[in-house]
Structure 1
Amino acid sequence: MTEERIRQVFTGAGAEGQVHVLPIEGPADAQGERRAEPEDGPEVAVGADTPVVIASIFKVLLVLEFARQAAAGQLDPRERVRVTAADRLGGWGTAGCLDDVELSLRDLAHFALSVSDNTAADLLLDRVGLDTVRLLAASLGLERTRITGGPRDLLESMLAEVGARDEAEFAVRYPALPDDRKRRLAVLDPRHTTASTPRDITRLLRLVWNDTAAPPEACALVRDLMARQVFRHRLVSGFPDDVAVAAKTGTLPGLHMEAGVARYPDGAHYAIAVFARTHDLAASRATVDAAIGRAAGIAVGHLRDGGHRR
Structure 2
Amino acid sequence: MGTPEPSNDTTLRRGARRAPAGARTRRSSSARRSFTSTLTALDALSVAGAHVSLKVIDLDSGSVVLSGDEHVTLPVGGIGIVPLLIEVAARMESGSLDPFEIVDRASVDAVAVAGVWRHLKAPALPIVDLAVLAAATGDALAANALLDRVGLDAVRERLGSLGLRRTALLDRFRDERGPDDAPQVALSSPGELAELFAGLVNSDVVSAAVSTQVAEWLSLNEDLSLVASAMGLDPFAHDDDPGGLLFVNKTGRGDGVLAEAGVVAGPRAGVAYALLVGFDDLSVAHRLRAHDAFRTLGVDLMEYVH
Offset of residue 281 of structure 1:
2.9
Aligned match for 1:199, one of 187, 191, 194: 191
Q: Are the counterparts in 2 of residues 21 and 299 from structure 1 also a CA contact under 8 Å? A: no
Q: Which has the higher contact order (CA 8 A, sep 6+)?
A: 1
More helix by share: 1
CA 1:207–1:86 in 2, change beyond 3 Å: closer, same or farther? closer
Deviation by residue 1:9-60 (Cα, 9 ceiling, x = unmatched): 03546544211110125xxxxxxxxxxx65xx23311121111111110111
Aligned residues: CA RMSD: 2.8
* Residue 228 (1) aligns with residue 213 (2): no
State the partner residue of 1:29.
Answer: none
CA 1:296–1:226 in 2, change beyond 3 Å: closer, same or farther? same
1:143 aligned counterpart, secondary structure: coil
TM-score between the two structures when normalised by the length of structure 1: 0.74
State the partner residue of 1:89.
Answer: 111
CA 1:281–1:76 in 2, change beyond 3 Å: closer, same or farther? same
Counterpart CA distance in 1 for 2:191 and 2:120 is 39
* Residue 108 (1) aligns with residue 130 (2): yes
Q: Are the counterparts in 1 of residues 262 and 273 from structure 2 also a CA contact under 8 Å? A: yes
Counterpart CA distance in 2 for 1:76 and 1:104 is 9
Counterpart CA distance in 2 for 1:83 and 1:211 is 33
My pick for the range that moved more, 274-283 or 45-54, is: 274-283
TM-score between the two structures when normalised by the length of structure 2: 0.75
Counterpart CA distance in 2 for 1:226 and 1:80 is 22
* Residue 71 (1) aligns with residue 72 (2): no
Aligned match for 1:18, one of 30, 53, 71: 53
Deviation by residue 1:114-149 (Cα, 9 ceiling, x = unmatched): 000011111101111211111111111112122222
Percent identity (aligned) = 25
Offset of residue 293 of structure 1:
2.3
Counterpart CA distance in 2 for 1:186 and 1:149 is 9
Offset of residue 69 of structure 1:
0.7
State the partner residue of 1:30.
Answer: none
Q: Are the counterparts in 1 of residues 79 and 186 from structure 2 also a CA contact under 8 Å? A: no
Deviation by residue 1:225-257 (Cα, 9 ceiling, x = unmatched): 111111111111234654332111100011111
Deviation by residue 1:69-120 (Cα, 9 ceiling, x = unmatched): 1011111111111112863211443453275621110111111110000111
1:219 aligned counterpart, secondary structure: helix
1:87 aligned counterpart, secondary structure: coil
State the partner residue of 1:252.
Answer: 254
Q: Which runs of 5+ in 1 are unaligned?
A: 26-36, 163-184, 188-192, 306-310
Counterpart CA distance in 2 for 1:16 and 1:199 is 15
Q: Are the counterparts in 2 of residues 237 and 290 from structure 1 also a CA contact under 8 Å? A: no
Q: Are the counterparts in 2 of residues 114 and 226 from structure 1 also a CA contact under 8 Å? A: yes
Counterpart CA distance in 1 for 2:180 and 2:43 is 30
State the partner residue of 1:273.
Answer: 274
Q: Which runs of 5+ in 2 are unaligned?
A: 1-8, 13-35, 234-242
Aligned match for 1:186, one of 180, 183, 186: 183
State the partner residue of 2:205.
Answer: 213
State the partner residue of 1:48.
Answer: 70
